[in-house]
Amino acid sequence: MNPKTMNYYSLNHRSPNVDFREAAIRGQAPDKGLYFPGQVNTLPGEFIEGLKQLSPEEIAYKVLAPYVDGSIPEAELRRIVKETIAFDIPLVKVTENIWSLELFHGPTLAFKDVGARFMSRCLGYFARERKEKLVVLVATSGDTGGAVANGFYDVPGVDVVILYPSGKVSPVQEKQVTALGKNIHALEVKGNFDDCQRMVKHAFVDDELTSKLFLTSANSINVARWLPQQVYYFLALRQWNEEKPPVICVPSGNFGNICAGMLAGRSGLPVEHFIAAVNRNDVIARYLASGDYQPVQAVATLSNAMDVGEPSNFIRIEEIFGKEWTSLTDHLSAASITDEETIATIRRVYQKYQYLLDPHGAVGFLALERYLKEHPGQKGIFLETAHPVKFPESVEKIIGGSIPVPDHVKPLLTREKVSTLIEPEYGALKDFLLK
Ligand SMILES: *Cc1c(COP(=O)(O)O)cnc(C)c1O
């Protein structure tokens, strides 16, 4: 492969093109646009036909190498992709025509582990290459903090500082950011999530601070978090033994996950159709139905990781299809599911098929089931994006029983919480970072 033929451009088109390394370190382009790869990789037919003969690590490497494009040497990248997918991603049959791709077997029990692990290891490599310690600064309202903390845990050359609102995250979420120790530092802010976010944003525009520290954010739009999500769509097809390609249904909030799947589809992965399953936050479902894009304030639902009023990654899906409306709507449809339907689905699928869904997976299951009823002869996969034990308040009430905690997360819950309590003021954050 020729080094550096893959450039990333900003979707706002007012920033210079950069390579993978620069795009991953910056997160967002200076003009505030999302980075997008200059070419969509095309995978050879024999690669797709031979998926079953390849190891998951080999598949992950082949899918990601063109996008990393020499920014990381081959041996190092192979090590990184291997660690990224070092847990099971099984495809489990639930009904006659519906399969679940279980993405919750990672350390924080949600699919975000995949992107967080890849990004953290790439950034760790870039920090070592610069011989400078990298400081990752994140504000979290809950889930992101855990996945990021875990992804960076014990990665050499990286320090992580996580701000979270005191008393406003669940006990498990708090343990996920405060009980790891080593290079993970938790700042417990006497305020709300907006205070945390404001303090982090302030740090990035403080020239004095950024001249002293090699600072980055672990933003969810980072290409190093977005692109590796393609891999498990290939791993799903590696386990698919049906005659025709599947319909794939993705519970969606910010649309990063489904966008990665559609990029995989564009690269040659055989997928019949994509469905974005959303909750009451249905701005994209309404857009696809009417052509009219109207972002709104998010409303709270049971599938709270999908409570997004203005999905930031949707613009990347439009870019994949060159903004051609017919091509886009041929490949993608969307369905909105209410909380009542989510509850009824968790109960029904548990009773009828002995399969326990989490609220996000339930939204995906029902959207897929409805689509398949209207398209007889097709079969499909929904992405089960989180383990039901992460949502005990709703799921345990619905099924009337308790959910066992998976063994590999038990040790964390008994570890001690260590955090630094600070005032909701930028000065307090700056003092901590400079000492
Ligand atoms: C983040 C998240 C989603 C939404 O994913 P997007 O990439 O933002 O569309 C869905 N389910 C769970 C459990 C999540 O944590």
| Domains in the chain: boundaries | 88-109+226-399
**Nearest residue (CA) to ligand 1, atom 14:** 305
* The predicted structure's pLDDT at residue 363: 98
Report the C-alpha gap between 403 and 353 in whole angstroms. Answer: 17
Q: Which of 101, 257, 310, 336 to mutate to test the pocket of ligand 1 (most atoms within 8 A of CB)?
A: 257
Ligand 1 closest atom vs CA 386: 13
For residue 256, the ligand 1 atom closest to its alpha carbon is 7
Ligand 1 centroid vs 94 CA: distance in angstroms? 21
**pLDDT the model gives residue 132:** 85
Per-residue pLDDT at 101 = 98
Q: Whose CA is nearest to atom 8 of ligand 1?
A: 254
Tell me how far the alpha carbon of residue 361 is from its chain's centroid: 14
Q: How far is the CA of 254 from the centre of ligand 1 (A)?
A: 7
Looking at residue 88, its amino acid is D
Nearest CA to ligand 1 atom 11: 385
- What pLDDT, on the 0 to 100 scale, is given for residue 4? 64
Helices 74-84 and 56-68 meet at what angle, rounded to 10? 130
List ligand 1's pocket residues with C-beta within 6 A.
Answer: 110, 112, 143, 251-257, 305-306, 360, 385-386
Mutating to test ligand 1, I would choose from 100, 101, 103, 254 the residue with most ligand atoms within 8 A of its C-beta, which is 254
| Cα 388 to ligand 1 centroid, rounded to whole Å | 14
Helix (H) or strand (E) holding 55: none
- Ligand 1: distance of its center to the CA of 111 in Å? 8
Annotated active-site positions, please?
A: 112
Contacts of 340 (CB under 8 A, 6+ apart): none
Residue-level pLDDT at 205: 87
Residue spans of alpha helices (H) in 153-205: 171-178, 193-204
Rounded-to-integer distance, Cα 222 and Cα 257, Å:
12
Give the pLDDT of residue 1.
45
Q: What is the pLDDT of residue 394?
A: 87
Top mutation candidate among 113, 220, 302, 306 for ligand 1, by most atoms within 8 Å of CB? 306
Tokens of 302: 């049971």
3-state secondary structure of 264: helix
What is the 292 CA–ligand 1 centroid distance (Å)?
24
The single-letter DSSP state of residue 334 is: E
Architecture of domain 88-109+226-399: 3-Layer(aba) Sandwich (3.40)
Ligand 1 centroid – CA 46 distance (Å): 32
**What does each of the 435 residues of the chain score in pLDDT, given as a tens digit?**
444 678 999 999 999 999 999 999 989 898 989 999 999 999 999 999 999 999 999 999 999 999 999 999 999 999 999 999 999 999 999 999 999 999 999 999 999 999 999 999 999 999 999 888 899 999 987 778 888 999 999 988 899 999 999 988 878 889 999 999 999 999 999 998 888 988 998 998 899 998 999 898 887 899 999 999 999 999 999 999 999 999 999 999 999 999 999 999 999 999 999 999 999 999 999 999 999 999 888 898 999 889 988 899 999 999 999 989 999 999 999 999 999 999 999 999 999 999 999 999 999 999 999 999 999 999 999 999 999 998 888 899 999 999 988 898 888 888 999 999 999 999 999 999 998
DSSP strand pairing (91-93 vs 98-102): antiparallel
Residues 6+ apart with CB under 8 A from 393: none
Q: From the alpha carbon of 358, which atom of ligand 1 is closest?
A: 13
Structure-token pair, residue 307: 């409570």
